[in-house]
Structure 1
Amino acid sequence: MKKGSSITTLFLDIGGVLLTNGWDHHARKRAAINFKLELAEMNDRHHLTVETYEEGKLTLEEYLDRVVFYKERPFTPAQFRKFMFAQSKPYPKMIDLVRRLKARCGLKIVVVSNEARELNVYRIRTFKLDGFVDFFISSCFVHVRKPDTDIFRLALDIAQTPARQVVYIENTPMFVEVAESLGIRSVLHTDYSSTCAKLASFGLEVAE
């Protein structure tokens, strides 16, 4: 860490930063092709349900009953669930960067993410995110989701870190804007190199 850096805590999104998105429109399109579903109908039902689902107020089984299995299908919920989970892939360079920043700079690492419970838990365990993340402020656990400012305030309270000592890495522009409105310095993540450069400007850098 550069001398004089005041950053003590790193907030992170999961989907689009550490891992691929868990269940986005691309994944749903692949599912529609694989299981021969009507994509527009599935997306309509998804959008009616997703907020409740990601806020932890529906189980995965209940979500799938509403979005996919509201009528007979020639495949099982277990087969569909396995396909859903298999869409998650890691971004190894980003995971390694955060691990190295934590070790070198002594940062507290906090995930602030919109994810549903079963998928969130699967991703945490499969990619060993709990090996370097101190707290998971996931929408399914705290029952509030981005862009609500309350999820960021909750993260600050649990981390016990003033906003001025936090840097947030996020790939959704609106969520960056919301965090910055609370005084949280933020990095709009588009690629590894530009994120490294922006972090370095905040005094957070590690040797390659």
Structure 2
Amino acid sequence: MSDIKVLFFDVGGVLLTNGWDRVSRRLACETFGIDWEEFQDRHDFVALDFEKGNLTIGEYLERTVFYRERDFSQAEFIAFMKSQSVAMPDSLALTRELASRGDYLLATLNNESRELNDYRIETFGLRDMFSVFLSSSYLGMAKPHKEIYRVAVEITQYRPEQCAFIDDRELNLECADLAGIRPVHFKDVNQLRESLRYLGVAI
């Protein structure tokens, strides 16, 4: 029988498309006629504070987009940002299957700004699957910093070796492994199912 009790899931790239990645930002610049290099330079200065919850989405946009007059509104731009979130149905179905069994504590462990994270939880019904939401914007720290893994494990009150972490980025998994958490590299749903079975997860 598996000793795994907790399954931590990344969200962007595993359950949903990424919320506000480089591809989405470039598309936003093309859509709204914003200079990409200028925007990206400003984004780089404030991105970590945005993800750690130190800036609201309005404050982030004031620094990156609306520092000058625009012919579109903040509301229009935020609507575009939200539209970049798309479900990955097979991954969500597998997660619902795991949640319905009730054998494991399911938690998210992701880097996301507060407003986009709240939107994604609500829009895609993540509360139906997850008991705990450990987002960078709630914890004030981000992957791959070692502290976020330590805090995540402490919140669950299980031992690191009783936890598995599913992510699509190898660096995040390497740092989780250093914290004693069992890493699972997400590539596709079939591979994820097999990787979880290898760890003894009933699915």
Give the TM bin, normalised by the shorter chain: over 0.9
Distance (whole Å) between structure 2 residues aligned to residue 110 and residue 150 of structure 1: 17
Distance (whole Å) between structure 2 residues aligned to residue 34 and residue 85 of structure 1: 14
Distance (whole Å) between structure 1 residues aligned to residue 140 and residue 178 of structure 2: 21
1:170 Cα deviation (Å)?
0.4
Task: Show the counterpart of 2:165.
Answer: 168
Gaps of 5+ in 1: none
Choose which of 189, 197, 200 in structure 2 pairs with 1:200. Answer: 197
Contact preservation (8 Å) 1:196, 1:205: no
* Identity in percent: 39
Choose which of 107, 111, 128 in structure 1 pairs with 2:108. Answer: 111
Gaps of 5+ in 2: none
**Which residue identity is paired with 2:116?**
L
Alignment of 1:1-208 (within 5 A): 4-104=1-101, 106-206=103-203
Distance (whole Å) between structure 2 residues aligned to residue 39 and residue 199 of structure 1: 40
Distance (whole Å) between structure 1 residues aligned to residue 104 and residue 83 of structure 2: 31
1:104 Cα deviation (Å)?
2.5
Q: TM-score scaled by structure 1? A: 0.95
1:157 is paired with a residue of what secondary structure? helix
**Which residue identity is paired with 1:197?**
E
Distance (whole Å) between structure 1 residues aligned to residue 201 and residue 34 of structure 2: 46
1:88 is paired with a residue of what secondary structure? coil
1:103 Cα deviation (Å)?
2.3
Between 197-206 and 156-165, the greater mean CA deviation after superposition:
197-206
Distance (whole Å) between structure 1 residues aligned to residue 109 and residue 22 of structure 2: 21
Q: Deviations over 1:92-125 (max 9, x none)?
A: 1111111212223611001111110000000000
Structure 1 vs Structure 2 CA RMSD: 1.0
Q: Deviations over 1:46-69 (max 9, x none)?
A: 111000111111110000000011
Moved over 4 A (4+): none
**Which residue identity is paired with 2:141?**
V
Total equivalences in the alignment: 203
Distance (whole Å) between structure 1 residues aligned to residue 148 and residue 179 of structure 2: 11
Q: TM-score scaled by structure 2? A: 0.97
